[in-house]
Amino acid sequence: MSLSPETSARIRFLKAPKTDASGDAVQIEATVKEVLAAVRSRGDEALRDYSRLFDKVEIDRFEISMDQREAAVSDLDQQTLADTRFAIERVRAFAEAQFATLLPLDVEPLPGLHLGHRVIPIERIGAYVPGGRYPLLSAPIMTIVPAKVAGCDEALACMPPNAHRAMIAACHLAGADRIFLVGGAQAIAAMAYGTETIPAVDKIVGPGNAYVNEAKRQVFGPVGIDQLAGPSEIFVVADESGDAGMIATDLLAQAEHDARTRVGLITTDAKLAADTLAEVERQLLDLPTAGVAAPAWRDFGQIVLCEDEAAMVAYSDHIAAEHLQVHTLDPQATALKLRNYGSLFIGPMASVVYSDKCCGTNHTLPTMGAARYTGGLWVGSYVKICTHQWLDRQGVEKVAPPAIRQSASEGLEGHRRAAAMRLDRLQLT
């Protein structure tokens, strides 16, 4: 969605992004299409071929045994184990609180007309667990724990064969029913279509690289997906109360995820804008992950100076950032004015890293402007809200006549007859 002329006139870039994060979409689309077709037709054989081609490994058995899972947990140091369990409990507690708001419904809006809905867990979900350059132990927690809270019958996980061993432990502790060593677009194909080893799922969740994202897009329809997420994003809205050092630190913390991460500051204060720009450059000098963070900042980083708070809010809503931090004099008041974001971090003490890891909210969030129309992954992503209805004599007497007339006016004689039949039979009794 383009920026309105009114907002454009009230902002200026102290640092503008050099490019967008779209990548080579045509090449990725073609490669993924080929992978999906191969897995769909050749199953496990294709998975083994792609493991050799992409991961440089030979896979005899895709599924990780229970002994292997328990051994991976035993290999965790005690502090990592405790911290992983802490994160699981926080995510579970928040998911349970959210789930408590999803209630069945039965109402009688007219005498004899009964309407309602049920909250039905999805039977089997597949969680894609990314490998990447870091062992992100929080990733399977965010995708598997809510599925178990929602009551899904089965939650399976797929991860690249070269993923860090600790990721197996995280999947196990999070409650995965089955874990498979298959990554990339081929894992999405396996979960969508099923193979000799990996069963087809009803919905695929979890983030991945551009090929995983494209695979999710292509299989959507017969199988559900959570969203098309990535690359990651963080923006900060701030006034003169903002702390340049803290903001720069938060921007770079997210930028180290991926060289295509979008990061930015949206502010009403010229001094904070200039100070933050200088502070980012200073911190990059000794950041161990600068090899990733620096190109992200160079190519996709931005600092936007706004005339007033209204322009700041308007530009933020235009960006619709995945993670949006609020560093203003009255952050709660500013938060109420913001509309488009994946997750909101209100006040300088609410760092994105807390949600990324362990505070309880889900870190699988909409990117690239999708927050204009959707929120992130949550326990409600794992259930279906399915309606039902039933009518007694009074209900039919109220509903049938307008249904008969409407069907007739539309020229749908079969509909008219179906509506009239019930009324006619009731009138005979």
Domains of the chain: 5-21+231-360 (3.40.50.1980), 28-226 (3.40.50.1980), 392-427 (no CATH)
Per-residue pLDDT of the chain (429 residues; tens, 9 = 90+): 678 888 899 999 999 998 665 557 899 999 999 999 999 999 999 999 999 999 999 999 999 999 999 999 999 999 999 999 999 999 999 999 999 999 999 999 999 999 999 999 999 999 999 987 778 899 999 999 999 999 999 999 999 999 999 999 999 999 999 999 999 999 999 999 999 999 999 999 999 988 999 999 999 999 999 999 878 999 999 999 999 999 999 999 999 999 999 999 999 999 999 999 999 999 999 999 999 999 999 999 999 999 999 999 999 999 999 999 999 999 999 999 999 999 999 999 999 999 999 999 999 999 999 999 999 999 999 999 999 999 999 999 999 999 999 999 999 999 999 999 999 999 888
Within the chain, how many helices (H) and strands (E) appear? 17, 14
Residues 341, 320: contact at Cβ < 8 Å?
A: yes
Report whether the peptide linkage leading into residue 104 is cis, meaning its omega lies within 30 degrees of zero: no
Quote the strand ranges of 289-335, DSSP E: 302-306, 323-327
Which pair of tokens denotes residue 334?
A: 């500013």
d(CA 421, CA 415): 10
Q: Which residues are catalytic?
A: 322-323
Look-up: residue for tokens 């990061």? 263
pTM: predicted TM-score of the whole model, two decimal places = 0.93
Helix axes of 138-150 and 165-174: crossing angle, nearest 10 degrees:
20
d(CA 185, CA 216): 8
Q: What is the largest CA-CA distance in the chain?
A: 88
d(CA 272, CA 244): 6
d(CA 75, CA 214): 34
